[in-house]
Chain A
Amino acid sequence: MKPTELILYKDHLSYWLRQLRKERELIGPLRGEETDIVFKSVENIHDIVLDLPAILPTVKEFLFPQYEPMFKYLMTDEVVDLRDNTKRVIFGVRSCDVTALTLLDKFFLDGYKDPFYEERRNETVLISIVCGRPEPECFCAGLNTGPYLEKGFDVQLTDLGDRFFVQVGSPKGHSAVMRFSFLFRKPYKADYEDQYEVFLSSKATSQKRISLEGARQLILSGKVKDDFWRMISDKCFECGGCVYQCPLCTCFTVTDRVFGDIIERVRLWDACLFKGFTRLAGGILPNEERYLRTKRWFYHKLIYYPDALNGFGCVGCGRCTIACPTKIDMASVITRLKVTAGSEG
């Protein structure tokens, strides 16, 4: 199905968002107290930042939060299911995150359904904005995970200066737009031409070329020895920054918190880079050596993710490149991997 295409003048944006906010919590990119831009619940629509850098925090937090209460247990032996069914609309989502969510859908909803993710996902509408100016760390274009998406989005906006080119790609997006159709008009030829120009310039902006497939093939060929992973892992602080910033890292732990008479079972983001992650009963640590954990993270993204979900566990968002203090992020490691293993081959 070809997405419905429309035009929204920026003058009408705040009105539209205000209408949406009457039914849903509105999440948008806001400037924090320092200079960082963060996704937060929007109180004043005019605080929303429109001149956005390409790399923003991931919106994973709203679908799979860092701290998610699952159940509440009361001393009366009653259990309350704490699934969050808040209706949300998130404005300003990046295309790479939209692509990541289509993979997370497969992960969380195929086989056993994860009801906490499912409920949030069903109730969330994503309004994504195409990046006109990718950052030096980005590499989505070569992976076809952005900046322009053909499908997978609810509503995709392209900034044309005074107006947005609007594409509606899902029933949820359709409802968010069509109920306020009086705010939108059909695109003219000039709009298509302007959109095409933005499309071209976003492609022309030199993005890094990182081939995940090339890296996968190198690993599968057996040319990447454990010495390589030892060298990489020697630099790892185990800070977990890459894992927490990654829109496709989903490992979690579950713990019970006791508040007087109430017990809350919560799940928290966990990281395979931590030594205790695979600890067995009796304290056995199968991945005690750090390089095994580093290797596992890269293998998960480059080998196991494609095997299981038919897509790499990386969308080229570049966040780990920014997060990693020692430059052992996905892009840097792949670049090094080619030098190291490629020279032997």
Chain B
Amino acid sequence: MKKVEMNPYMLIKGRISEILNLTPDVKLFKVRIDGIKDYLPGQFFMVSLWGAGEVPISVTSLPSDVLEFCIKKVGRVTGEIHNLEVGQYIYIRGPYGNGFPTDIANKRGILMIAGGIGISPLRPLIEWLIKYPKGRQIIFFYGSKTPKEILFLDDIERWRRNGIGVHLTVDMADKKWNGPVGLVTELLKSVNLNFEDAISYICGPPVMIKATVKELLSFSMPEERIVTTLEAHMKCGIGKCGHCYEGSKYICIDGPIFTYKEIVDYALSL
């Protein structure tokens, strides 16, 4: 019989070892899986349930036997994933995409700016930077709609203890909240940093990314050191289905991480 070659669309089965309910519509799935060991912060996987379909989801853990996916219930597939329980199976393929560039971060001040579930791809990058500190100044800005929707609060406290400057803000405060209220871009103004020599990693909803980039440019941060993620509809993850191309770039294989300079040069839309 003819040998059937590897099929890149074929899924690998993983067992859900733990589910954390982070907010009413965001869950963290820990998936025990064999055979996927190497991936980078910023890369994504196609996560799938048979009968529902596939969705691209950023990995939110550093490489280990357990992959972590932070999934917000926004549609049909993510809705069905949310119905899964510990011990059940989930199917994935990947990793895909380019991941965050870390070589340009050497010895520079680092700004991490997240909005909402945009913290998810930044989380492994922060963990990576803590693991390999190299004496960098790291500041983390995080905007959420409400205090209840702040994800990974335990991790954030640990990051704070590890010397990361943490600045949280919310759109709408509750009784217990005594931190700032407003957009994450407002927080940037208060920080004491040489923006011209720093690097920034941004992830969040498009409107937040746009506002943040504008702010950073006004502080003279060079375009090639503003790094962000782009979001797109995807069906394949490997540059074939055609849904995510912008110009001659495919978000799935050339991205999803781009510097602002690349976004301008390739005429990508933020």
List residues of chain A with CB under 8 Å of any chain B CB: 70-71, 73, 77, 79, 81, 83, 85, 107-108, 111-116, 250-256, 258, 263, 265, 267, 270, 272, 277-282, 284, 286, 299-300, 303-304, 307-308
Contacts and interface: CB of A to CB of B under 8 A. Distances in A.
Given A278-B232, A307-B248, A112 B239 contact: yes
B5 A278 contact: no
B245 interface: yes
Nearest to B75: A281
Nearest to B240: A114
Nearest to A281: B74
List of 10 A-B pairs having minimum Cβ-Cβ separation, nearest first: A251-B242, A112-B238, A307-B248, A73-B50, A304-B248, A281-B74, A254-B235, A263-B50, A263-B51, A115-B7
A191 to B, nearest CB: 39
B193 interface: no
A281 B78 contact: yes
A112 B50 contact: no
Given A83-B7, A254-B236, A263-B50, A277 B243 contact: yes
B35 interface: no
A278 B2 contact: no
Given A81-B4, A304-B248, A254 B53 contact: yes
Interface string B35-56: 0000000000000001111110
Interface stretch (B9-17, B151-159, B173-181): B9-17
Contacts of B10: 71, 79, 81
Interface of B: 2, 4-11, 13, 50-55, 72, 74-75, 78, 89, 206, 231-233, 235-236, 238-245, 247-248, 253, 269
A284 to B, nearest CB: 8
Contacts of A308: 248
A279 B242 CA distance: 13
B48 to A, nearest CB: 9
B240 A280 contact: no
Contact of B247 (A77, A286, A304): A304
A81 B7 contact: yes
29 contacts: A77-B89, A81-B4, A85-B2, A108-B240, A111-B239, A114-B240, A115-B6, A116-B9, A250-B240, A250-B242, A251-B241, A251-B243, A253-B241, A254-B235, A254-B236, A256-B52, A263-B51, A267-B241, A270-B243, A277-B233, A278-B232, A278-B243, A281-B75, A281-B78, A281-B231, A282-B74, A299-B247, A304-B248, A308-B248
B51 A286 contact: no
Q: Pick the most buried of B231, B236, B242: most chain A CB atoms within 10 A of its CB.
A: B242
A250 B240 CA distance: 8
Given A107-B240, A254-B54, A254-B235, 19 more contacts: A71-B9, A73-B51, A77-B13, A81-B7, A112-B238, A115-B7, A251-B243, A253-B241, A254-B53, A256-B51, A256-B52, A256-B53, A258-B51, A263-B51, A265-B50, A267-B235, A277-B243, A299-B247, A308-B248
A6 to B, nearest CB: 30
Given A79-B11, A277-B233, A304 B52 contact: no
Contact of B8 (A83, A112, A280): A112
A113 B53 contact: no
B103 to A, nearest CB: 23
Contacts of B248: 303-304, 307-308
Nearest to A309: B248
Nearest to A110: B239
Contacts of A77: 13, 89
B231 A280 contact: yes
Given A77-B13, A256-B51, A280-B233, A272 B7 contact: no
Contacts of B8: 112-115
